[in-house]
Amino acid sequence: MSQTPDFDEIINRFGTHSVKWDGMEPLFGVAAADGISMWVADMDFRPPQAVQDALKGMLDHGLYGYFGDDAAYHAAIRWWMSERHAWAVEKDWIFTTHGLVNGTAICVDAFTAPGDGVVLMTPVYHAFARVIKAAGRKVVECPLALEDGRYAMDFAAWDAQMTGAEKMLILCSPHNPGGRVWSVEELRGVADFCARHDLVLVSDEIHHDLVMPGHRHTVMANAAPDATSRLVTLSATTKTFNIAGAHIGNVIIADPALRARFAARMAALGISPNSFGLIMATAAYSPEGAAWLDALIPYIEGNRKLFDAGVNAIPGLRSMPLEATYLAWVDFAGTGMATEEFTRRVEKGARIAANHGPTFGLGGESYMRFNLATPRKVVAEAVARLQTAFSDLQ
Ligand SMILES: Cc1ncc(COP(=O)(O)O)c(C=O)c1O
């Protein structure tokens, strides 16, 4: 049965194998005793009740054999994409991977060869570069420009960077970090750029449900229908509904030739999803899931306003205006401090674990990323601690 979500509830996540909370002390040196974890992108909220009920149904039945019918799962994805994104997806276009980092890695494997270049618009989600490098491909960093304090695309500069060895571009849409919801014109610009340089276009839209009021995301498939022959779209329930541990993602490919190449790699790797992920994702892409999400967005927006007002009041700090995601991207450049110094103040002074900007690639050097998907009280406490840790700048 559906219940109104209580995003204010503080839920103790220590001792649950949570990388965010149990990893805070070993990974960031921020003591568990009174630290605040604001790094990896999962939320401190329970998922929709429909997801909990679906899992309880499995537990009550008590058998966990092979899963043999993904019809309901495919129908749920198609319903969600049509309802929330005005996108008509065919059942045969959908592949289910072990999450989207896995989906990205299979794309790299299927559509590029060792030594090829893969283009990223940096700073960007760090796991892209990790899988590209691990697969023996080259990361081609195309730095985003800053316009009025927000990220913008710089196609002229990027055209000049291309050598012909690049075979794929991974777009993060909406963008992590920085929270841009790319406009239709920008998305068309990306598709044209990929056409000019003959790149497979992987559009990672994992954050496309987490869009702040007043902004509208367009799926790449709708923004640039002429890009279909080179387009792979990644989406998932995991970020939207806070079920990242389910490790399940959708790779959606309309073009039959691209699909055949992706399917061949999936088959060669023997990848098939686990039943827990399928059951949870099916329950999430539902009217109950939609109602939960519609309650979540204004809560995140409230957290963002509180965080930005408090952080932007500290001289030298600037939080980028978020259009999507729950990840605040804070620039410390105005403090004049070295990266080590502002990081030390955040971790040792404010006792907050936040992602280090340089891990996001070129352009991230003076930044840290803070996860705002936590009860408002925690955000308020984090802001107060940051103000104290940088109080000499007031
Ligand atoms: C852009 C982007 N892609 C993928 C992921 C992770 O996907 P998964 O957990 O499905 O591997 C994240 C997580 O933060 C992300 O921000």
Which residues have C-beta within 8 Å of that of residue 88, sequence separation ≥ 6? Answer: 78, 81, 82
Q: What is the pLDDT of residue 2?
A: 53
Beta bridge partners of 328: 370
How many angstroms separate the CA atoms of 198 and 173, rounded? 20
Task: Give the distance (Å) from ligand 1 centre to CA of residue 26.
Answer: 22
How far is ligand 1, taken at its centre, from the CA of residue 134, in Å? 17
pLDDT for 69 equals: 86
**Given ligand 1 and candidates 121, 128, 130, 176, which is best to mutate, with the most ligand atoms within 8 Å of its CB?**
176
Atom of ligand 1 nearest to the CA of 102: 11
Ligand 1 mutation target, pool 100, 128, 131, most atoms within 8 A of CB = 100
Does the pTM surpass 0.95? The reply is: yes
Specify the pLDDT at position 1.
Answer: 45
* The predicted structure's pLDDT at residue 218: 98
Please report the pLDDT score of residue 393 as a whole number: 82
Residue 53 has a pLDDT of 98
Q: Please say whether the beta carbons of 131 and 101 come within 8 A.
A: yes
Instruction: List beta partners, residue 327.
Output: 371
- Give residue ranges with CB within 6 A of ligand 1: 41, 99-101, 125, 172, 176, 204, 206, 236, 238, 244, 249
Distance CA 252, CA 152 (A): 26
- Distance, in Å, from the CA atom of 295 to the CA atom of 293, rounded to the nearest integer, reads 5
Residue 172 alpha carbon, nearest atom of ligand 1: 1
Cis peptide before 287, with omega less than 30 degrees from 0?
Answer: no
10-residue mean pLDDT profile of the chain (394 residues): values are 82 96 96 96 98 97 92 97 98 97 98 98 98 98 97 98 98 98 98 98 98 97 98 98 97 98 97 94 98 98 98 97 97 96 98 98 97 98 98 83
The number of CA neighbours under 13 Å toward the Cβ of 268 is 9
Estimate to the nearest angstrom the gap between the alpha carbon of 350 and the chain centroid: 25
Cα(206) to centroid(ligand 1), Å: 6
Taking the centre of ligand 1 as the mean of its atom positions, its distance from the CA of residue 392, in whole angstroms, is 37
Per residue, what are the HEC states of 320-362? CCCCECCEEEEECHHHCCCHHHHHHHHHHHCCEECEEHHHHCC
CA-atom Rg of the chain in angstroms: 21
Q: Write the residue with the smallest CA distance to atom 14 of ligand 1.
A: 41
**Ligand 1 atom nearest to 97, measured from its CA:** 10
340 Cβ partners below 8 Å, 6+ apart? none
Residues in CB range of 164: below 8 A, 6 or more apart: 197
The pLDDT assigned to 3 comes to 66
pLDDT of residue 98: 96
Token couple for 204: 């990672």
Tokens standing for 122?
């940096």
In three-state secondary structure terms, 76 is helix
